Amino acid sequence: MSGQSAESLAEQARAAEDGAVDEALALVNEARAADDRGAGRAALPGAAGSGTGRAGAGSPGTGRGSADRSRRTELATPTGQMNRGDHMNHPHSPEGPARHSAPSGSGTDSQHRAAPWSAARAVAGRAGRAAAALRGRAAERREPLDRALGLTLAEPLAALSDLPSFDTSAMDGWVVAGPGPWDVRAEGVLAGQDRPAPLSDGEAVQIATGARVPRDATAVIRSEHGRTDDNGRLFALRDVGHGQDIRPRGQECRSGDQLLPSGALVTPAVLGLAAAAGYDALLTVARPRAEVFVLGDELLSEGLPREGLIRDALGPMLPPWLRALGAEVSSVRRLGDDPKALLKAVQASDADLIVTTGGTASGPVDHVHPTLSRVDAELLVDGVAVRPGHPMLLARTKEGQHLVGLPGNPLAAVSGLLTLAEPLLRILAGRPEQESYTVPLQEAVHGHPHDTRLVPVVVRGERALPLRYSGPAMLRGIAAADGLAVIAPGGAKAGREVEILDLPWS
């Protein structure tokens, strides 16, 4: 591997990842095609390899989903969930727990398999890379320090000066020259004072932390390590080493040194470092813009639940969550169950990412699939083999714009955020991928027979404790959680190492 650049190695890794994703999706589509052939049904329009990449519209060989572009349509696997639900099919039902009927209006009643969870995340990341390439340098913004928090660096942070830029005192005390005892000058040296008078051997002067050290100084004696007599002479109470408690010029860095790489997240500490290194503004990657469309006539924006109506939990939760993932949320709109309003909102949006809540399944008021069909969207992921959150979807609505459809149940929506929205937004925001890690489970976790489960956990010491209240409609568990444990189909015994998805603020 010697002689290969980091960029070349990263490109090879992405190519290998894409190949693995293609292989996984090919297996899903082969199984789906076998089901269709066995049942004597036609393939669903919009499915990979079916001849169209549209959401349940179009004919084979037309539009952006024609056969020569079938690899671009990652997966379109309609779900058969209940309206806004995320309920698990009974494992002994005729269809099985991971097979679902096509959505209303798809033009077929064929049954399909959902995308594997890891493959769906990889598809979302691939979509993010394509959209980021379209944004290019146009997404870069030079922001003043007070507006750069939470953004990512679009270029390496290089020191504009030595740090410190001159020899400074690390402590309050006396700065001395030569061996002691020392005659103490009357005047002191304070921080901000320019070029104090040089010292001669046997001389000392009081100095403040951060003040510039006089020329020819030997060391700084801390206030508690020296004493003066009635004649104004300074005596050290312990040995004095040459250069002690003096921060020499360039100790932290020299001008031009790279302090942080491109892609680093701008934290409060980064702002402090940038200011110390001489910056007034930073070249950053602009936050991708997101809009949230909350669907459902049953939702209340205030007050207590009543008469079949429930409080909207996702409207207050999603905007700050999306901001934590790197997005700028331009609006949150409550559209009810109005298909015309949803279509108009999607058509008018200029956001990089549209997030919808509810309406992704096949109930009588689930309008997301028909809307995607009407705007000629390209389904990339339509249903994921994960619990909760099975009926989530990802679509490319137009060049440079995507839509993530979240289930209406709150924890299922969180699952959709971390599965589809997080990989896409992370790349659009220029953030580096977090290195995955595993933690052993403190207790056993029951699994779905075929699907991955995402379970809220708290990490205590070296173990992850699964939390109660982890049903699709529940937020009590995730509100107390440090992250979500990724549980493979079949479950995991106590002590089993499982991957942890950190929450953005954990």
User: Between β-strands 384-387 and 115-116, what pairing exists: parallel, antiparallel or unpaired?
Assistant: parallel
Question: What CA–CA distance (Å, rounded) separates 156 from 209?
Answer: 31
The pLDDT value recorded for residue 351 is 97
Which pLDDT value is given to residue 435? 86
| Cβ atoms of residues 328 and 287 within 8 Å | yes
AA identity, residue 444: A
What is the spatial distance between Cα 353 and Cα 174, in angstroms, rounded to a whole number? 60
Distance set, CA 484 to CA 73, 408, 503 (Å): 29, 19, 8
Query: What pLDDT score does 85 carry?
Result: 39
Whole-prediction pTM value? 0.74
- pLDDT (0 to 100) of residue 264: 94
Q: What is the pLDDT along the chain (506 residues), one digit of tens a residue?
A: 444 554 554 565 556 556 655 655 565 555 555 554 554 433 333 433 333 333 433 333 333 333 333 333 444 443 333 334 343 333 333 223 333 333 434 433 333 579 999 999 999 999 999 999 999 888 999 999 999 999 999 999 999 999 999 999 999 999 999 998 999 988 888 887 888 888 999 999 999 999 999 988 999 999 999 999 988 899 999 999 999 999 999 999 999 999 999 999 999 999 999 999 999 999 999 999 999 999 998 988 889 989 889 999 999 999 999 999 999 999 999 999 999 999 999 999 999 999 999 988 877 888 999 999 999 999 999 999 999 999 999 999 999 999 999 999 999 999 999 999 999 999 999 998 888 899 999 999 999 999 999 999 999 989 999 999 999 999 999 999 999 999 999 999 999 999 999 998 87
Q: Taking the CA of residue 20 as centre, how many other CA atoms within 13 Å lie in the half-sphere pointing to its CB?
A: 12
Tokens of 108: 């077929």
Q: Which pLDDT does position 21 carry in this prediction?
A: 58
pLDDT score for 365 = 82
Q: Where are the alpha helices (DSSP H) in 364-505?
A: 368-374, 410-416, 422-428, 476-479
Burial of 148 per CB tally in 10 Å (0-12, 13-18, 19+): buried
